[in-house]
Structure 1
Protein backbone atom coordinates (compact mmCIF):
# COMPACT_ATOMS: atom_id res chain seq x y z
CA UNK A 1 0.00 0.00 0.00
CA UNK A 2 1.24 3.45 -0.86
CA UNK A 3 0.41 5.51 2.20
CA UNK A 4 0.95 8.86 0.53
CA UNK A 5 -1.74 8.16 -2.06
CA UNK A 6 -4.25 7.04 0.58
CA UNK A 7 -4.41 9.86 3.17
CA UNK A 8 -7.84 8.84 4.46
CA UNK A 9 -6.62 5.26 4.94
CA UNK A 10 -3.54 6.47 6.79
CA UNK A 11 -5.66 8.71 9.04
CA UNK A 12 -7.97 5.83 9.86
CA UNK A 13 -5.03 3.52 10.48
CA UNK A 14 -3.36 6.07 12.75
CA UNK A 15 -6.59 6.49 14.71
CA UNK A 16 -6.89 2.72 15.20
CA UNK A 17 -3.23 2.57 16.28
CA UNK A 18 -3.73 5.34 18.85
CA UNK A 19 -6.85 3.59 20.16
CA UNK A 20 -5.06 0.24 20.43
CA UNK A 21 -1.85 1.42 22.06
CA UNK A 22 -3.68 4.02 24.14
CA UNK A 23 -5.99 1.33 25.54
CA UNK A 24 -3.03 -0.95 26.30
CA UNK A 25 -1.31 1.94 28.04
CA UNK A 26 -4.34 2.70 30.20
CA UNK A 27 -4.96 -0.95 31.20
CA UNK A 28 -3.26 -0.51 34.61
CA UNK A 29 -6.19 1.68 35.66
CA UNK A 30 -8.56 -1.20 34.89
CA UNK A 31 -6.53 -3.87 36.68
CA UNK A 32 -6.27 -1.68 39.78
CA UNK A 33 -10.00 -2.26 40.33
CA UNK A 34 -9.17 -5.89 41.22
CA UNK A 35 -6.99 -5.18 44.26
CA UNK A 36 -9.12 -7.53 46.39
CA UNK A 37 -8.78 -10.41 43.91
CA UNK A 38 -5.68 -12.49 43.25
CA UNK A 39 -3.92 -11.96 39.91
CA UNK A 40 -4.58 -15.62 39.04
CA UNK A 41 -8.34 -15.18 39.52
CA UNK A 42 -8.32 -12.03 37.37
CA UNK A 43 -6.28 -13.85 34.74
CA UNK A 44 -8.72 -16.78 34.63
CA UNK A 45 -11.68 -14.46 34.12
CA UNK A 46 -9.71 -12.54 31.50
CA UNK A 47 -9.26 -15.79 29.55
CA UNK A 48 -12.86 -16.94 29.93
CA UNK A 49 -14.54 -13.69 28.96
CA UNK A 50 -12.03 -13.02 26.17
CA UNK A 51 -13.07 -16.34 24.65
CA UNK A 52 -16.75 -15.42 24.97
CA UNK A 53 -16.18 -12.04 23.32
CA UNK A 54 -13.94 -13.40 20.56
CA UNK A 55 -16.38 -16.23 19.83
CA UNK A 56 -19.13 -13.67 19.35
CA UNK A 57 -16.98 -11.73 16.89
CA UNK A 58 -16.06 -14.87 14.95
CA UNK A 59 -19.74 -15.85 14.73
CA UNK A 60 -20.69 -12.42 13.44
CA UNK A 61 -17.89 -12.58 10.87
CA UNK A 62 -18.74 -16.23 10.09
CA UNK A 63 -15.15 -17.30 10.59
CA UNK A 64 -15.77 -20.31 12.85
CA UNK A 65 -14.67 -22.73 10.05
CA UNK A 66 -11.17 -21.24 10.36
CA UNK A 67 -11.08 -22.36 13.99
CA UNK A 68 -12.10 -25.88 12.99
CA UNK A 69 -9.30 -26.02 10.42
CA UNK A 70 -6.71 -25.05 13.04
CA UNK A 71 -7.97 -27.57 15.60
CA UNK A 72 -7.84 -30.37 13.03
CA UNK A 73 -4.11 -29.74 12.55
CA UNK A 74 -2.25 -31.28 15.54
CA UNK A 75 0.99 -29.48 14.68
CA UNK A 76 -0.77 -26.11 14.56
CA UNK A 77 -2.79 -26.40 17.75
CA UNK A 78 0.21 -27.77 19.64
CA UNK A 79 2.22 -24.70 18.64
CA UNK A 80 -0.73 -22.52 19.62
CA UNK A 81 -0.84 -24.28 22.98
CA UNK A 82 2.76 -23.16 23.53
CA UNK A 83 1.94 -19.58 22.46
CA UNK A 84 -1.17 -19.69 24.66
CA UNK A 85 1.01 -20.66 27.63
CA UNK A 86 3.41 -17.78 26.92
CA UNK A 87 0.49 -15.37 26.55
CA UNK A 88 -1.04 -16.60 29.81
CA UNK A 89 2.27 -16.03 31.62
CA UNK A 90 2.55 -12.56 30.07
CA UNK A 91 -1.01 -11.53 30.97
CA UNK A 92 -0.74 -12.92 34.50
CA UNK A 93 2.63 -11.29 35.14
CA UNK A 94 1.32 -7.96 33.91
CA UNK A 95 -1.71 -8.08 36.20
CA UNK A 96 0.54 -9.07 39.12
CA UNK A 97 2.96 -6.24 38.33
CA UNK A 98 0.21 -3.64 38.23
CA UNK A 99 -1.49 -4.79 41.44
CA UNK A 100 1.79 -5.10 43.33
CA UNK A 101 2.48 -1.41 42.62
CA UNK A 102 5.16 -1.99 39.99
CA UNK A 103 3.61 -0.23 37.01
CA UNK A 104 6.91 1.53 36.27
CA UNK A 105 8.63 -1.84 35.98
CA UNK A 106 5.93 -3.19 33.66
CA UNK A 107 6.47 -0.19 31.39
CA UNK A 108 10.21 -0.99 31.35
CA UNK A 109 9.36 -4.48 30.14
CA UNK A 110 7.41 -3.24 27.15
CA UNK A 111 10.09 -0.68 26.30
CA UNK A 112 12.65 -3.51 26.26
CA UNK A 113 10.41 -5.86 24.26
CA UNK A 114 11.29 -4.64 20.71
CA UNK A 115 14.99 -5.05 21.46
CA UNK A 116 14.48 -8.54 22.88
CA UNK A 117 12.51 -9.40 19.74
CA UNK A 118 15.46 -8.33 17.58
CA UNK A 119 17.82 -10.42 19.73
CA UNK A 120 15.62 -13.52 19.45
CA UNK A 121 15.41 -13.05 15.70
CA UNK A 122 19.22 -13.10 15.60
CA UNK A 123 19.52 -16.17 17.83
CA UNK A 124 16.70 -18.35 16.47
CA UNK A 125 16.00 -17.09 12.96
CA UNK A 126 19.60 -16.18 12.08
CA UNK A 127 18.49 -12.67 11.16
CA UNK A 128 21.46 -10.35 10.69
CA UNK A 129 21.91 -7.70 13.37
CA UNK A 130 22.85 -4.36 11.88
CA UNK A 131 25.50 -2.29 13.66
CA UNK A 132 22.90 0.10 15.07
CA UNK A 133 20.80 -2.82 16.33
CA UNK A 134 23.87 -4.33 18.01
CA UNK A 135 24.51 -1.02 19.78
CA UNK A 136 20.84 -0.78 20.78
CA UNK A 137 20.79 -4.28 22.31
CA UNK A 138 24.07 -3.53 24.09
CA UNK A 139 22.70 -0.29 25.55
CA UNK A 140 19.59 -2.10 26.78
CA UNK A 141 21.79 -4.70 28.48
CA UNK A 142 23.84 -1.92 30.11
CA UNK A 143 20.65 -0.27 31.38
CA UNK A 144 19.34 -3.49 32.94
CA UNK A 145 22.79 -4.33 34.31
CA UNK A 146 23.00 -0.91 35.96
CA UNK A 147 19.59 -1.49 37.56
CA UNK A 148 20.73 -4.84 38.99
CA UNK A 149 24.01 -3.35 40.22
CA UNK A 150 22.34 -0.42 41.99
CA UNK A 151 19.34 -2.20 43.49
CA UNK A 152 20.86 -5.65 43.91
CA UNK A 153 17.76 -7.17 42.36
CA UNK A 154 16.84 -8.32 38.87
CA UNK A 155 13.80 -6.50 37.39
CA UNK A 156 12.21 -9.89 36.80
CA UNK A 157 8.75 -8.53 36.03
CA UNK A 158 10.13 -6.31 33.26
CA UNK A 159 12.33 -9.07 31.85
CA UNK A 160 9.55 -11.64 32.18
CA UNK A 161 7.12 -9.43 30.27
CA UNK A 162 9.69 -8.65 27.58
CA UNK A 163 10.83 -12.22 27.00
CA UNK A 164 7.42 -13.94 27.20
CA UNK A 165 5.93 -11.52 24.68
CA UNK A 166 9.02 -11.69 22.44
CA UNK A 167 8.94 -15.49 22.40
CA UNK A 168 5.19 -15.31 21.79
CA UNK A 169 5.75 -13.09 18.76
CA UNK A 170 8.57 -15.33 17.53
CA UNK A 171 6.40 -18.46 17.59
CA UNK A 172 3.37 -16.69 16.12
CA UNK A 173 5.58 -15.84 13.12
CA UNK A 174 6.01 -19.58 12.60
CA UNK A 175 2.27 -20.34 12.75
CA UNK A 176 0.42 -19.15 9.65
CA UNK A 177 -2.79 -18.01 11.34
CA UNK A 178 -4.82 -14.81 11.38
CA UNK A 179 -4.36 -12.81 14.62
CA UNK A 180 -8.02 -12.86 15.68
CA UNK A 181 -8.54 -16.56 14.95
CA UNK A 182 -5.21 -17.44 16.56
CA UNK A 183 -6.07 -15.55 19.76
CA UNK A 184 -9.49 -17.24 19.87
CA UNK A 185 -7.87 -20.69 19.65
CA UNK A 186 -5.25 -19.76 22.24
CA UNK A 187 -7.92 -18.69 24.73
CA UNK A 188 -9.97 -21.78 23.85
CA UNK A 189 -7.03 -24.04 24.75
CA UNK A 190 -6.46 -22.39 28.14
CA UNK A 191 -10.06 -21.66 29.12
CA UNK A 192 -10.89 -25.22 30.38
CA UNK A 193 -8.23 -24.83 33.08
CA UNK A 194 -9.49 -21.33 33.86
CA UNK A 195 -13.06 -22.61 34.17
CA UNK A 196 -12.00 -25.41 36.53
CA UNK A 197 -10.12 -22.94 38.72
CA UNK A 198 -12.98 -20.41 38.83
CA UNK A 199 -15.51 -23.19 39.56
CA UNK A 200 -13.37 -24.47 42.43
CA UNK A 201 -13.05 -20.99 43.91
CA UNK A 202 -16.80 -20.42 43.65
CA UNK A 203 -17.62 -23.76 45.30
CA UNK A 204 -15.15 -23.20 48.13
CA UNK A 205 -16.34 -19.64 48.65
CA UNK A 206 -13.03 -17.90 47.95
CA UNK A 207 -13.96 -16.64 44.48
CA UNK A 208 -15.05 -13.05 44.00
CA UNK A 209 -17.32 -13.44 40.96
CA UNK A 210 -20.89 -12.66 42.00
CA UNK A 211 -19.74 -10.90 45.14
CA UNK A 212 -21.18 -7.68 43.76
CA UNK A 213 -22.71 -6.57 40.48
CA UNK A 214 -19.93 -4.05 39.90
CA UNK A 215 -17.11 -6.54 40.43
CA UNK A 216 -18.82 -9.19 38.27
CA UNK A 217 -19.21 -6.68 35.45
CA UNK A 218 -15.52 -5.81 35.79
CA UNK A 219 -14.61 -9.49 35.43
CA UNK A 220 -16.77 -9.77 32.32
CA UNK A 221 -15.40 -6.51 30.99
CA UNK A 222 -11.87 -7.94 31.16
CA UNK A 223 -12.69 -9.86 27.99
CA UNK A 224 -13.71 -6.69 26.19
CA UNK A 225 -10.69 -4.77 27.48
CA UNK A 226 -8.46 -7.56 26.19
CA UNK A 227 -10.06 -8.07 22.79
CA UNK A 228 -10.98 -4.57 21.62
CA UNK A 229 -7.40 -3.21 21.49
CA UNK A 230 -6.43 -6.28 19.46
CA UNK A 231 -9.19 -5.57 16.95
CA UNK A 232 -8.10 -1.93 16.71
CA UNK A 233 -4.51 -3.07 16.25
CA UNK A 234 -5.52 -5.44 13.45
CA UNK A 235 -7.37 -2.61 11.70
CA UNK A 236 -4.32 -0.36 12.07
CA UNK A 237 -1.99 -3.05 10.72
CA UNK A 238 -4.13 -3.40 7.60
CA UNK A 239 -3.90 0.31 6.83
CA UNK A 240 -0.34 1.26 7.85
CA UNK A 241 3.14 0.17 6.92
CA UNK A 242 5.00 -1.69 9.64
CA UNK A 243 7.54 1.14 9.78
CA UNK A 244 4.71 3.58 10.57
CA UNK A 245 2.99 1.22 13.00
CA UNK A 246 6.28 0.60 14.81
CA UNK A 247 6.46 4.15 16.12
CA UNK A 248 3.10 3.75 17.85
CA UNK A 249 4.34 0.78 19.93
CA UNK A 250 6.04 3.15 22.37
CA UNK A 251 2.75 4.89 23.20
CA UNK A 252 1.60 2.13 25.56
CA UNK A 253 4.69 1.87 27.80
CA UNK A 254 5.01 5.67 27.83
CA UNK A 255 1.46 5.98 29.19
CA UNK A 256 2.16 3.18 31.69
CA UNK A 257 5.28 4.97 32.89
CA UNK A 258 3.40 8.24 33.38
CA UNK A 259 0.62 6.43 35.25
CA UNK A 260 3.12 4.72 37.53
CA UNK A 261 5.02 7.92 38.34
CA UNK A 262 2.33 10.59 38.40
CA UNK A 263 -0.92 8.75 39.24
CA UNK A 264 0.25 5.91 41.48
CA UNK A 265 3.28 7.80 42.91
CA UNK A 266 5.69 4.91 42.41
CA UNK A 267 9.37 5.78 42.97
CA UNK A 268 11.38 6.95 39.98
CA UNK A 269 14.93 7.23 41.27
CA UNK A 270 18.12 8.37 39.53
CA UNK A 271 18.82 4.66 38.94
CA UNK A 272 15.49 4.36 37.12
CA UNK A 273 16.41 7.43 35.09
CA UNK A 274 19.73 5.93 33.99
CA UNK A 275 18.12 2.59 33.16
CA UNK A 276 15.26 4.12 31.20
CA UNK A 277 17.68 6.57 29.58
CA UNK A 278 19.76 3.69 28.23
CA UNK A 279 16.60 1.97 26.95
CA UNK A 280 15.30 5.16 25.33
CA UNK A 281 18.64 5.79 23.60
CA UNK A 282 18.67 2.17 22.46
CA UNK A 283 15.16 2.50 21.01
CA UNK A 284 16.10 5.74 19.23
CA UNK A 285 19.13 4.06 17.65
CA UNK A 286 17.10 0.96 16.81
CA UNK A 287 14.34 3.02 15.15
CA UNK A 288 16.81 5.17 13.19
CA UNK A 289 18.66 2.07 11.99
CA UNK A 290 15.41 0.41 10.89
CA UNK A 291 14.31 3.52 9.00
CA UNK A 292 17.65 3.82 7.18
CA UNK A 293 17.58 0.15 6.27
CA UNK A 294 14.07 0.43 4.84
CA UNK A 295 14.93 3.59 2.86
CA UNK A 296 17.90 1.78 1.28
CA UNK A 297 15.77 -1.21 0.31
CA UNK A 298 13.12 0.94 -1.44
Structure 2
Protein backbone atom coordinates (compact mmCIF):
# COMPACT_ATOMS: atom_id res chain seq x y z
CA UNK A 1 0.00 0.00 0.00
CA UNK A 2 1.41 3.40 -1.01
CA UNK A 3 1.67 6.35 1.37
CA UNK A 4 -1.21 8.05 -0.46
CA UNK A 5 -3.42 4.98 -0.07
CA UNK A 6 -2.54 4.77 3.63
CA UNK A 7 -3.48 8.44 3.94
CA UNK A 8 -6.87 7.88 2.30
CA UNK A 9 -7.64 4.89 4.55
CA UNK A 10 -6.67 6.83 7.69
CA UNK A 11 -8.66 9.91 6.65
CA UNK A 12 -11.77 7.91 5.77
CA UNK A 13 -11.52 5.99 9.06
CA UNK A 14 -11.29 9.26 11.02
CA UNK A 15 -14.31 10.75 9.25
CA UNK A 16 -16.35 7.57 9.73
CA UNK A 17 -15.65 7.59 13.49
CA UNK A 18 -16.62 11.26 13.71
CA UNK A 19 -19.67 10.70 11.52
CA UNK A 20 -20.96 7.80 13.64
CA UNK A 21 -20.16 9.48 16.96
CA UNK A 22 -23.83 10.60 17.37
CA UNK A 23 -24.65 6.94 18.00
CA UNK A 24 -22.13 6.93 20.86
CA UNK A 25 -23.39 10.12 22.51
CA UNK A 26 -27.04 9.20 21.97
CA UNK A 27 -26.39 6.06 24.02
CA UNK A 28 -25.26 8.39 26.84
CA UNK A 29 -28.49 10.39 26.83
CA UNK A 30 -29.14 9.50 30.48
CA UNK A 31 -25.90 11.25 31.48
CA UNK A 32 -25.95 15.06 31.74
CA UNK A 33 -24.01 16.74 28.89
CA UNK A 34 -21.67 18.57 31.27
CA UNK A 35 -20.77 15.29 32.97
CA UNK A 36 -20.11 13.67 29.59
CA UNK A 37 -17.98 16.66 28.60
CA UNK A 38 -15.98 16.48 31.84
CA UNK A 39 -15.26 12.79 31.33
CA UNK A 40 -14.45 13.35 27.66
CA UNK A 41 -11.91 15.97 28.70
CA UNK A 42 -10.29 13.85 31.41
CA UNK A 43 -10.07 10.57 29.48
CA UNK A 44 -8.86 12.40 26.36
CA UNK A 45 -6.08 13.94 28.46
CA UNK A 46 -5.00 10.54 29.76
CA UNK A 47 -5.08 8.99 26.29
CA UNK A 48 -3.19 11.83 24.60
CA UNK A 49 -0.65 12.04 27.42
CA UNK A 50 -0.08 8.30 27.07
CA UNK A 51 0.54 8.69 23.33
CA UNK A 52 3.04 11.51 23.96
CA UNK A 53 4.75 9.46 26.69
CA UNK A 54 5.18 6.50 24.34
CA UNK A 55 6.59 8.87 21.71
CA UNK A 56 8.88 10.50 24.28
CA UNK A 57 7.36 13.94 23.62
CA UNK A 58 5.96 14.97 27.02
CA UNK A 59 8.67 17.64 27.24
CA UNK A 60 7.22 19.22 24.10
CA UNK A 61 3.90 19.57 25.93
CA UNK A 62 5.63 21.31 28.86
CA UNK A 63 7.39 23.74 26.52
CA UNK A 64 4.12 24.50 24.73
CA UNK A 65 2.77 26.29 27.80
CA UNK A 66 5.82 28.47 28.29
CA UNK A 67 6.77 29.43 24.74
CA UNK A 68 6.07 33.05 23.87
CA UNK A 69 2.37 33.84 23.73
CA UNK A 70 1.22 30.22 23.49
CA UNK A 71 -0.63 30.00 26.80
CA UNK A 72 -3.25 32.59 25.85
CA UNK A 73 -3.85 30.97 22.47
CA UNK A 74 -4.11 27.52 24.06
CA UNK A 75 -6.63 28.88 26.57
CA UNK A 76 -8.82 30.43 23.85
CA UNK A 77 -8.57 27.29 21.71
CA UNK A 78 -9.59 25.21 24.74
CA UNK A 79 -12.66 27.40 25.27
CA UNK A 80 -13.66 27.07 21.61
CA UNK A 81 -13.27 23.29 21.41
CA UNK A 82 -14.98 22.64 24.76
CA UNK A 83 -17.91 24.84 23.71
CA UNK A 84 -18.08 22.93 20.43
CA UNK A 85 -17.97 19.57 22.19
CA UNK A 86 -20.66 20.55 24.71
CA UNK A 87 -23.19 21.78 22.17
CA UNK A 88 -22.55 18.78 19.93
CA UNK A 89 -23.18 16.36 22.83
CA UNK A 90 -26.23 18.35 23.96
CA UNK A 91 -27.72 18.56 20.45
CA UNK A 92 -27.44 14.78 19.99
CA UNK A 93 -29.03 14.04 23.35
CA UNK A 94 -32.01 16.39 22.88
CA UNK A 95 -32.85 15.26 19.35
CA UNK A 96 -31.27 18.03 17.26
CA UNK A 97 -28.59 16.01 15.50
CA UNK A 98 -29.80 17.28 12.11
CA UNK A 99 -28.81 20.83 13.08
CA UNK A 100 -25.47 19.52 14.35
CA UNK A 101 -24.74 17.88 11.00
CA UNK A 102 -25.67 21.11 9.24
CA UNK A 103 -23.15 22.93 11.42
CA UNK A 104 -20.31 20.71 10.23
CA UNK A 105 -21.49 21.02 6.64
CA UNK A 106 -21.31 24.81 6.73
CA UNK A 107 -18.13 24.92 8.85
CA UNK A 108 -15.74 25.15 5.83
CA UNK A 109 -17.72 28.08 4.46
CA UNK A 110 -17.84 29.81 7.84
CA UNK A 111 -14.08 29.24 8.17
CA UNK A 112 -13.53 30.88 4.78
CA UNK A 113 -15.65 33.85 5.87
CA UNK A 114 -13.72 34.12 9.17
CA UNK A 115 -10.49 34.16 7.18
CA UNK A 116 -11.84 37.01 5.06
CA UNK A 117 -13.10 39.09 7.99
CA UNK A 118 -10.26 38.53 10.47
CA UNK A 119 -7.23 37.78 8.29
CA UNK A 120 -8.24 39.77 5.22
CA UNK A 121 -7.87 36.73 2.97
CA UNK A 122 -9.04 37.02 -0.63
CA UNK A 123 -12.18 35.11 -1.63
CA UNK A 124 -12.72 33.97 -5.17
CA UNK A 125 -16.03 34.46 -6.93
CA UNK A 126 -16.85 30.78 -6.39
CA UNK A 127 -16.14 31.05 -2.67
CA UNK A 128 -18.33 34.13 -2.33
CA UNK A 129 -21.11 32.27 -4.17
CA UNK A 130 -20.78 29.28 -1.83
CA UNK A 131 -20.88 31.49 1.28
CA UNK A 132 -23.94 33.34 -0.07
CA UNK A 133 -25.77 30.05 -0.72
CA UNK A 134 -24.99 28.84 2.81
CA UNK A 135 -26.33 32.12 4.18
CA UNK A 136 -29.48 31.70 2.10
CA UNK A 137 -29.86 28.17 3.49
CA UNK A 138 -29.76 29.50 7.05
CA UNK A 139 -32.31 32.16 6.09
CA UNK A 140 -34.53 29.46 4.54
CA UNK A 141 -34.58 27.52 7.79
CA UNK A 142 -35.16 30.66 9.84
CA UNK A 143 -38.16 31.78 7.79
CA UNK A 144 -39.54 28.34 6.94
CA UNK A 145 -39.39 26.89 10.46
CA UNK A 146 -39.55 30.24 12.28
CA UNK A 147 -36.44 29.34 14.27
CA UNK A 148 -32.83 30.41 13.98
CA UNK A 149 -30.59 27.32 13.48
CA UNK A 150 -28.32 28.58 16.25
CA UNK A 151 -26.87 25.15 17.03
CA UNK A 152 -25.52 24.91 13.47
CA UNK A 153 -24.10 28.43 13.68
CA UNK A 154 -22.51 27.88 17.11
CA UNK A 155 -20.87 24.60 16.04
CA UNK A 156 -19.60 26.03 12.75
CA UNK A 157 -18.36 29.29 14.30
CA UNK A 158 -16.62 27.76 17.33
CA UNK A 159 -14.89 25.18 15.13
CA UNK A 160 -13.93 27.89 12.63
CA UNK A 161 -12.45 30.09 15.36
CA UNK A 162 -10.73 27.04 16.82
CA UNK A 163 -9.05 26.41 13.46
CA UNK A 164 -8.03 30.07 13.28
CA UNK A 165 -6.39 29.88 16.71
CA UNK A 166 -4.62 26.62 15.83
CA UNK A 167 -2.86 28.43 12.98
CA UNK A 168 -1.08 30.52 15.62
CA UNK A 169 0.24 27.47 17.47
CA UNK A 170 3.44 25.97 16.16
CA UNK A 171 2.54 22.59 17.64
CA UNK A 172 1.48 19.27 16.19
CA UNK A 173 -2.21 18.32 16.50
CA UNK A 174 -1.67 15.77 19.29
CA UNK A 175 0.48 18.14 21.37
CA UNK A 176 -1.89 21.09 20.92
CA UNK A 177 -5.05 19.14 21.81
CA UNK A 178 -3.29 17.60 24.82
CA UNK A 179 -2.37 21.10 25.97
CA UNK A 180 -5.97 22.24 25.52
CA UNK A 181 -7.54 19.39 27.51
CA UNK A 182 -4.82 19.79 30.16
CA UNK A 183 -5.84 23.44 30.49
CA UNK A 184 -9.49 22.36 30.88
CA UNK A 185 -8.78 19.45 33.23
CA UNK A 186 -8.96 21.41 36.55
CA UNK A 187 -12.49 22.55 35.62
CA UNK A 188 -13.45 19.01 34.58
CA UNK A 189 -12.06 17.49 37.78
CA UNK A 190 -13.77 20.14 39.90
CA UNK A 191 -17.12 19.47 38.25
CA UNK A 192 -16.82 15.69 38.69
CA UNK A 193 -15.87 16.11 42.35
CA UNK A 194 -18.92 18.34 42.82
CA UNK A 195 -21.19 15.75 41.18
CA UNK A 196 -19.87 12.81 43.15
CA UNK A 197 -19.96 14.58 46.52
CA UNK A 198 -23.44 16.03 46.23
CA UNK A 199 -25.43 16.15 43.01
CA UNK A 200 -24.72 12.51 42.11
CA UNK A 201 -22.51 11.51 39.19
CA UNK A 202 -23.22 8.30 37.29
CA UNK A 203 -19.61 7.10 36.99
CA UNK A 204 -19.27 3.76 38.77
CA UNK A 205 -23.03 3.22 39.17
CA UNK A 206 -23.64 1.51 35.84
CA UNK A 207 -21.01 -0.70 34.19
CA UNK A 208 -21.99 0.12 30.59
CA UNK A 209 -22.21 3.88 31.13
CA UNK A 210 -18.93 3.88 33.06
CA UNK A 211 -17.19 1.99 30.24
CA UNK A 212 -18.61 4.39 27.66
CA UNK A 213 -17.47 7.44 29.62
CA UNK A 214 -13.96 5.99 29.75
CA UNK A 215 -14.19 5.20 26.03
CA UNK A 216 -15.02 8.85 25.28
CA UNK A 217 -11.27 9.51 25.51
CA UNK A 218 -10.21 7.11 22.74
CA UNK A 219 -13.33 8.02 20.71
CA UNK A 220 -12.12 11.64 20.80
CA UNK A 221 -8.41 10.93 20.31
CA UNK A 222 -8.25 8.19 17.70
CA UNK A 223 -9.96 10.03 14.81
CA UNK A 224 -7.77 13.08 15.42
CA UNK A 225 -4.62 10.96 15.23
CA UNK A 226 -5.89 9.18 12.10
CA UNK A 227 -6.90 12.51 10.52
CA UNK A 228 -3.47 13.98 11.23
CA UNK A 229 -1.77 10.92 9.73
CA UNK A 230 -3.92 11.08 6.59
CA UNK A 231 -3.77 14.85 6.12
CA UNK A 232 0.05 14.77 6.02
CA UNK A 233 -0.08 12.36 3.06
CA UNK A 234 -2.82 13.94 0.95
CA UNK A 235 -3.43 17.20 -0.90
CA UNK A 236 -5.36 19.79 1.09
CA UNK A 237 -8.20 19.83 -1.44
CA UNK A 238 -8.56 16.04 -1.17
CA UNK A 239 -8.72 16.31 2.63
CA UNK A 240 -11.42 18.97 2.31
CA UNK A 241 -13.61 16.79 0.09
CA UNK A 242 -13.16 13.54 2.05
CA UNK A 243 -14.06 15.13 5.37
CA UNK A 244 -17.63 15.71 4.16
CA UNK A 245 -18.11 12.03 5.03
CA UNK A 246 -18.38 13.21 8.65
CA UNK A 247 -21.46 15.48 8.43
CA UNK A 248 -23.06 13.17 5.86
CA UNK A 249 -22.97 10.24 8.28
CA UNK A 250 -24.16 12.52 11.08
CA UNK A 251 -27.06 13.60 8.88
CA UNK A 252 -27.97 9.96 8.11
CA UNK A 253 -27.81 9.07 11.80
CA UNK A 254 -30.16 11.95 12.60
CA UNK A 255 -32.75 11.29 9.91
CA UNK A 256 -32.58 7.53 9.29
CA UNK A 257 -31.66 6.14 12.72
CA UNK A 258 -32.93 8.77 15.19
CA UNK A 259 -35.97 9.61 13.05
CA UNK A 260 -35.65 13.37 13.46
CA UNK A 261 -38.03 15.55 11.39
CA UNK A 262 -36.89 16.31 7.87
CA UNK A 263 -39.49 18.13 5.82
CA UNK A 264 -39.51 20.26 2.65
CA UNK A 265 -37.92 23.24 4.43
CA UNK A 266 -35.05 21.10 5.68
CA UNK A 267 -34.64 19.60 2.21
CA UNK A 268 -34.50 23.05 0.59
CA UNK A 269 -31.91 24.29 3.09
CA UNK A 270 -29.71 21.22 2.79
CA UNK A 271 -29.97 21.31 -1.02
CA UNK A 272 -28.61 24.86 -0.93
CA UNK A 273 -25.78 23.78 1.39
CA UNK A 274 -24.89 20.76 -0.75
CA UNK A 275 -24.82 23.01 -3.81
CA UNK A 276 -22.61 25.51 -1.98
CA UNK A 277 -20.20 22.74 -0.97
CA UNK A 278 -20.09 21.41 -4.53
CA UNK A 279 -19.12 24.88 -5.81
CA UNK A 280 -16.58 25.37 -3.02
CA UNK A 281 -15.00 21.92 -3.42
CA UNK A 282 -14.76 22.22 -7.20
CA UNK A 283 -13.04 25.59 -6.81
CA UNK A 284 -10.65 24.20 -4.18
CA UNK A 285 -9.74 21.21 -6.36
CA UNK A 286 -9.06 23.47 -9.34
CA UNK A 287 -6.89 25.79 -7.25
CA UNK A 288 -4.95 22.84 -5.84
CA UNK A 289 -4.45 21.41 -9.33
CA UNK A 290 -3.25 24.78 -10.63
CA UNK A 291 -0.78 25.12 -7.73
CA UNK A 292 0.62 21.64 -8.33
CA UNK A 293 1.03 22.32 -12.06
CA UNK A 294 2.75 25.63 -11.33
CA UNK A 295 5.08 23.89 -8.87
CA UNK A 296 5.92 21.17 -11.41
CA UNK A 297 6.66 23.77 -14.09
CA UNK A 298 8.85 25.71 -11.66
CA UNK A 299 10.78 22.57 -10.68
CA UNK A 300 11.22 21.65 -14.35
CA UNK A 301 12.56 25.13 -15.11
CA UNK A 302 15.06 24.80 -12.25
CA UNK A 303 16.24 21.44 -13.59
CA UNK A 304 16.64 22.85 -17.11
CA UNK A 305 18.48 25.93 -15.82
CA UNK A 306 20.81 23.77 -13.71
CA UNK A 307 21.55 21.48 -16.65
CA UNK A 308 22.22 24.43 -18.95
CA UNK A 309 24.59 25.94 -16.39
CA UNK A 310 26.47 22.68 -16.07
CA UNK A 311 26.70 22.30 -19.85
CA UNK A 312 28.01 25.85 -20.17
CA UNK A 313 30.65 25.35 -17.48
CA UNK A 314 31.77 22.10 -19.12
CA UNK A 315 32.60 23.83 -22.42
CA UNK A 316 36.31 24.68 -22.98
Greater alpha carbon shift after TM alignment, 199-208 vs 187-196: 199-208
**How far did residue 211 of structure 1 move?**
0.8
**Which of 267, 273, 281 is residue 275 of structure 2 equivalent to?**
281
**How far did residue 289 of structure 1 move?**
1.2
1:84-110 CA-to-partner distances (Å, cap 9, x unmatched) read 000000000000000011111110000
2:22 is aligned to: 28
1:242-271 CA-to-partner distances (Å, cap 9, x unmatched) read 111111110010001111111111111100
Structure 1 stretches of at least 4 aligned residues deviating more than 6 Å after TM superposition: none
Structure 2 residue matching 1:34: 3-state secondary structure: coil
**Which of 235, 255, 258 is residue 252 of structure 2 equivalent to?**
258
1:66 is aligned to: 60
Output the CA distance in 2 between the equivalents of 1:54 and 1:238: 19
2:307 is aligned to: none
Q: Do the aligned partners of 2:44 and 2:217 also contact (CA within 8 Å) in 1?
A: yes
**How far did residue 295 of structure 1 move?**
2.6
Output the CA distance in 1 between the equivalents of 2:284 and 2:241: 11
Q: Please list, as runs of the form range in 1=range in 2, the aligned pairs for 1:49-60 lying within 5 A after superposition.
A: 49-60=43-54
Output the CA distance in 2 between the equivalents of 1:144 and 1:212: 41
Structure 1 residue matching 2:95: 3-state secondary structure: coil
**How far did residue 34 of structure 1 move?**
1.1
1:249 is aligned to: 243
2:187 is aligned to: 193
Structure 2 stretches of 5 or more lacking a match? 294-316
1:224 is aligned to: 218
- Structure 1 residues 213 and 74: CA distance shift in structure 2, 3 A: farther
Q: Do the aligned partners of 2:130 and 2:280 also contact (CA within 8 Å) in 1?
A: yes
2:95 is aligned to: 101
Output the CA distance in 2 between the equivalents of 1:294 and 1:212: 50
**How far did residue 290 of structure 1 move?**
1.4
- TM-score, normalised to structure 2, is 0.91
**How far did residue 293 of structure 1 move?**
2.0
- TM-score, normalised to structure 1, is 0.96
Confirm or deny that 1:203 pairs with 2:197: yes
Q: Please list, as runs of the form range in 1=range in 2, the aligned pairs for 1:150-161 lying within 5 A after superposition.
A: 150-161=144-155
Q: Would you say how many aligned residue pairs link Structure 1 and Structure 2?
A: 292
RMSD of aligned alpha carbons? 1.0
1:177-224 CA-to-partner distances (Å, cap 9, x unmatched) read 111000000000001000000011001151111112221111110001
2:312 is aligned to: none
Q: Do the aligned partners of 2:12 and 2:243 also contact (CA within 8 Å) in 1?
A: no
Output the CA distance in 2 between the equivalents of 1:48 and 1:54: 10
Structure of greater Rg: 2
